[in-house]
Amino acid sequence: MRASPLVAVDDLVKVYPARGKQPAVQALRGLSFSVEPGEFFGLLGPNGAGKSTTLGCITTLVRPTSGRILVDGVDVARDPLQAKRRIAVVPQTRNLDRDLTVREVLTYHGRYFGLPAAEREARAERLMAELQVAEKADAKPLTLSGGMQQRVLIARALMHDPKVLLLDEPTTGLDPQARRLLWETLKALHQGGLTVILTTHYMEEADRLCQRLAIVDHGQILTLDTPAGLRKGLPGGQILDMWVRAERPLAPELEGLPGVMRIERVESHGDWEGLERLRLFVDPGDGLLDRVLHVVRDGGADLRHLSLNAPSLEDVYIHLTGKELRE
Amino acid sequence: MTAFLALLRRDLVVASRNVGPLLMATLTQPVLVVLVFGNILPRLHLVADEFRTVMVPGLMSITMLMAGVQGVLMPLATDLSGSREVDERLLAPISVLGVAIQKVVAGAIHAAVAGLVALPAMMLLMHRVTGVEVHPRWGALLPLVVASGLLSAAFGLTLGTRVQPRFSGLLFAVVLGPLMLFGCAYYPWAALKVLGPVQYVFLVNPLVFMSEAMRVAVTPDVPHMPLPLLIGGLLAFMALFTILGARSFEKRTVF
């Protein structure tokens, strides 16, 4: 028998009402997904896609316009207090209590949840050691580096032994080393049995950590699968990515080549302004590259960049949305 | 209730660590006013001796108003700032209303302590000064101090959630300043009878009820507002600001 999901989000809609000159914003348009116990689940999408609003709804800080959320069988809207005991949040902005020390941040969080003194002291010590912040136990949070603050936030979240940990873009603004360390920490916590829901706009992060992934844009889930499953959904085996400056469109001719399954044109921006970006989903057989280059040369086009890659989640994203993920 | 008490404890512990600056902020104003108006000016015969007796309860109420408003306003500015420290409180197992009321109670404690410290400080300064008739009635003083503290803190919650922090300077100049001047701190409300019906216009000012409450408790010999009006006013303003403050607090924290 299949166990019931730990978190079930059903047809979630959120409209932020108009305020003064700002018009109303429809942040979520009927979003549904569920997360199984012990799962590492990801919401991937650009800024403004609705990821944080979704997390806000699960954590009671945003009131959904309609839809229902169950956490461990508890209806979040009806019984927020019980829901809050089951969840823990690492918010996007580091909101550690600046008037307390790191140790106190943890023990006071324990007090808020009614942990007895001995238990909260012991848990705080254990979590500080586990998350490698013990040396800063008596320091004020604002004196810590971003990566350390992030680990204290995780330690704080785990103080009341939640069923599910929600992280809102936890590695945004961290340097690569701190990001890697945080990934290792999250992997270890997940291996220890914790259910995790993470939002991110980093493809690599989603790919490395998440067992299942929902790609979100404009308040809707575009697709939901394992990272491998998402990649498999793409036509062809490889992606040929090319940037050209062409006199006339090359796509029609390229499309007719054997081995080219599909061509997508991508809006490009920044340094690539004025260039045409073509993404060819190809089955790279004998002479394919040769044939492609031939078409480019005959067309009098200026080839500025060419790469042949195994499909990544970014390719899935571009395939689904027709645009690059803005970071 | 556990979360409520734990949050309150956190606020009181943090406040007790800053007890020096807090005491300075609380006592500077009343002590200096007492020195000038209670000591220097009467010696120069520029104010009547009775003024000393009249201003003591008024200064207590001003001290409490400032302490209560600031005791909520300042932490709230941090809480609602970009880093959203308030979210941790909201994620504790307590309702949004519970968090708002906890803020008011913490501010009220702040205000009550300020008032109860200011009174002996002023009495000490005017010790052996003739013509001062301060006779605290402790039984009446404590509940009235608590009520005044709650009123000031609820007022602080209303202001803090409805006024952006960048306007807080304006707030003190345009809102709190006039409240203090027209708050019956430096003259008893009963004496305003000479103004005719205008006397009743003063009742829109919550500080009037706090000043009169202190007058009842500290200088019972000075004429003061009838008790039913006094208690009714205190309770009505307390309820009004708690409702307004809690409502805007919810608007600012849950979207």
Look at residue B128 in the predicted model and tell me its pLDDT.
63
A52 contacts on B by Cβ (under 8 Å): none
Look at residue A326 in the predicted model and tell me its pLDDT.
47
> Which of A25, A78, A95 is the best residue to mutate to test the B interface, defined by the most B CB atoms within 10 Å of its own CB?
A95
Q: Where in chain A is the domain with CATH 3.30.70.1340?
A: 235-310
* CATH number for the domain formed by residue range(s) A235-310: 3.30.70.1340
Of these ranges, A106-110, A186-190, B192-196, the one predicted with the greatest mean pLDDT is A106-110
- The CATH homologous superfamily for domain A7-230 is P-loop containing nucleotide triphosphate hydrolases (3.40.50.300)
Does position B177 have pLDDT exceeding 70, yes or no? yes
Look at residue A3 in the predicted model and tell me its pLDDT.
62
Look at residue B127 in the predicted model and tell me its pLDDT.
67
Out of A92-106, A202-216, A262-276, B133-147, least confident range: A262-276
Q: Where in chain A is the domain with CATH 3.40.50.300?
A: 7-230
Does position A295 have pLDDT exceeding 70, yes or no? yes
Q: Which chain A residue is nearest to residue B96, measuring alpha carbons?
A: A61
A95 contacts on B by Cβ (under 8 Å): 83-85, 87-88
User: Given an 8 Å threshold on Cβ–Cβ distance, is B87 in contact with A61?
Assistant: yes
Instruction: Please state the φ and ψ torsions of residue A300, each to the nearest 5 degrees.
Output: 70, 25
Does position A2 have pLDDT exceeding 60, yes or no? no
Encode burial over A180-191: b for 16+ CB neighbours within 10 A, e otherwise: ebbbebbeebbe
Q: Which chain A residue is nearest to residue B89, measuring alpha carbons?
A: A112
Look at residue B165 in the predicted model and tell me its pLDDT.
75
Does position A322 have pLDDT exceeding 70, yes or no? no
Helices (H), A11-97: 51-58, 80-86
Stronger pLDDT, A227 or B213, i.e. the higher one: B213
* Least Cα separation, residue A113 to chain B (angstroms): 6
* Least Cα separation, residue B254 to chain A (angstroms): 5
Encode burial over A15-41: b for 16+ CB neighbours within 10 A, e otherwise: ebeeeeeeeeeebbeebebbbeebbbb
Stronger pLDDT, A44 or A287, i.e. the higher one: A44
* Least Cα separation, residue B22 to chain A (angstroms): 15
What's the rounded mean pLDDT across residues A188-192? 89
Contact residues for B62 (Cβ-Cβ < 8 A; gap 6+): B29, B30, B180, B183, B185, B207, B211
H/E/C letters for each residue in A165-223? EEEECCCCCCCHHHHHHHHHHHHHHHHCCCEEEEEECCHHHHHHHCCEEEEEECCEEEE
Look at residue B156 in the predicted model and tell me its pLDDT.
92
- CB B60, CB B115: distance < 8 Å: yes
A113 contacts on B by Cβ (under 8 Å): 2-3, 92-93
B95 contacts on A by Cβ (under 8 Å): 80-81
pTM for the predicted model, two decimal places: 0.81
Specify burial of residue A250 (Cβ count, 10 A radius: 0-12, 13-18, 19+): buried
Residues facing A221 on adjacent strands? A216
A85 contacts on B by Cβ (under 8 Å): 93
Instruction: Give the distance from CA B51 to its chain's centroid.
Output: 21
Does position A1 have pLDDT exceeding 50, yes or no? no
A109 contacts on B by Cβ (under 8 Å): 88, 92
* 3-state SS class at A161: coil
Confidence of residue B241 (pLDDT cuts 50, 70, 90): very high
Stronger pLDDT, B52 or B104, i.e. the higher one: B104
Does position A327 have pLDDT exceeding 60, yes or no? no
A81 contacts on B by Cβ (under 8 Å): 93-95
Stronger pLDDT, A180 or A283, i.e. the higher one: A180
* Least Cα separation, residue B248 to chain A (angstroms): 15
B78 contacts on A by Cβ (under 8 Å): 98
Instruction: Please state the φ and ψ torsions of residue B87, each to the nearest 5 degrees.
Output: -60, -30
Does position A325 have pLDDT exceeding 60, yes or no? no
Q: Which amino acid is it at B244? A: L
* 3-state SS class at A16: strand
Q: Which chain B residue is nearest to residue A64, measuring alpha carbons?
A: B255
A163 vs B: CB within 8 A:
no
Cα A55 to Cα B87: distance, rounded to the nearest angstrom = 13
* Least Cα separation, residue A116 to chain B (angstroms): 11
Q: What is the DSSP letter of B203?
A: G
Q: Which chain A residue is nearest to residue B3, measuring alpha carbons?
A: A112
Confidence of residue A109 (pLDDT cuts 50, 70, 90): very high
Does position B119 have pLDDT exceeding 50, yes or no? yes
pLDDT tens-digit series, residues B124-157? 777 666 666 777 788 888 899 999 999 999 999 9
Stronger pLDDT, B109 or A258, i.e. the higher one: B109
Question: How many domains would you assign to chain B?
Answer: 1
Cα B160 to Cα A154: distance, rounded to the nearest angstrom = 30
Q: Which of A56, A62, A95 sits opposite B83 (nearest CB)?
A: A95
User: Given an 8 Å threshold on Cβ–Cβ distance, is A97 in contact with B88?
Assistant: yes
- CB A51, CB A205: distance < 8 Å: no
Cα A39 to Cα B79: distance, rounded to the nearest angstrom = 33
- CB B220, CB B75: distance < 8 Å: no
Domain hosting B245: range is 2-253
Instruction: Please state the φ and ψ torsions of residue A238, each to the nearest 5 degrees.
Output: -135, 165
| Distance set, CA B210 to CA B22, B90, B141, B158, B232 (Å) | 21, 32, 11, 18, 12
User: Given an 8 Å threshold on Cβ–Cβ distance, is A60 in contact with B91?
Assistant: yes
* 3-state SS class at A306: strand
Look at residue A84 in the predicted model and tell me its pLDDT.
92
- Sheet with A74-75, side-by-side order of all strands: A25-35, A7-16, A66-71, A74-75
